[in-house]
Amino acid sequence: MLVAMLSLQSGSRTIPRETVQRFQKKVFSFYQQNKRELPWRNTTDPYKILVSELMLQQTQVSRVISYYERWIARWPTISDLASASRAEVLKAWMGLGYNTRAVYLHKAAQKIVAEYDGDVLTAMKQYQEIPGVGRYTAQAVQIFSRNTDLVTVDTNIRRIFIAEFHLSEELSMRELWGYAEQCLPLGRSREWHNALMDYGALHQTAKKTGIRSVSQQSEFEGSDRQRRAAVLRLLLSGPASFDTIHRALGGERMKIRKILGKMVDEDLLVLQNKRYQVKE
């Protein structure tokens, strides 16, 4: 089995070839017996994969499936999404959480259509210019759409490498990407990353390994995230004044003002004539 010979990120020690091959065999064997059937694995359309990647950030796969299927049925192409209103996009996203992801996805679609003629892959190669897209997402889209010999490291993959190679949890992402590069089987990047995702989600789990995520999700109940969701639900029905919003949410007035101000800064809302509304 071929192993990628790529430039390693600084600080990553070299893994013996035999160790890499044993690791690859273990992961692929697990995948063949336990692979999940997921709708975004049935496409090589870069736009659809971009949608799935943004939806999957900090959200369980089981929750994403129905949202993804409805989204693609409604906006099957990136041009369709770019033409939608912000309110329509947010309504479709409601309940999935972290609603700024919907704004980023909508902005990304508009930019890709306007400046890249709808070419998602070209845009991913210049991901620094695309709202809400980082290195992980940009390379994941290329991997899953074109089987490109690239690596990407998410929470699951990070946990796998730490557990399998007995690495420190304090290891930098730069170093982890270096280990990932050493273990990539050339020509099988799509299959390899799907296998890693399932191996981490079903076998080398956080509960089993005790390895902490880099970012821990806070409790939703009583949080600002819950209040933000309540604000969006209210305003998706129409504009409202601060007093109307405060009566609906309750709590400290200053806290509600701060939440609304942040949502305006994030392009979720606008304030016009003393009434808040979802940005078009």
pTM of the model: 0.87
Domains of the chain: total: 3
Count of residues for the chain?
A: 280
pLDDT at 10: 44
Tell which of 128, 146, 164 closes a domain: 146
Residue 136 lies in a domain: yes
The residues that are catalytic are 53
Spatial CB neighbours of 169, under 8 Å, sequence gap ≥ 6: 162, 211, 212
Residue among 141, 117, 114, 113 nearest 127 (CA) = 141
Place of tokens 């709202």: 131
Tell which of 121, 146, 171 closes a domain: 146
233 and 109, same domain (yes or no) = no
pLDDT at 218: 55
Residue 6 lies in a domain: no
134 and 264, same domain (yes or no) = no
Which stretches in the chain have pLDDT values below 70? 1-12, 214-222
pLDDT at 92: 96
Structure tokens, 103 = 């704004």
Give exposure, 62-82, as e/b (b: 16+ Cβ within 10 Å).
Answer: eebeebbeebbeebeebeebb
CA geometry: angle 211, 150, 101, nearest 5 deg: 65
Structure tokens, 240 = 């409202």
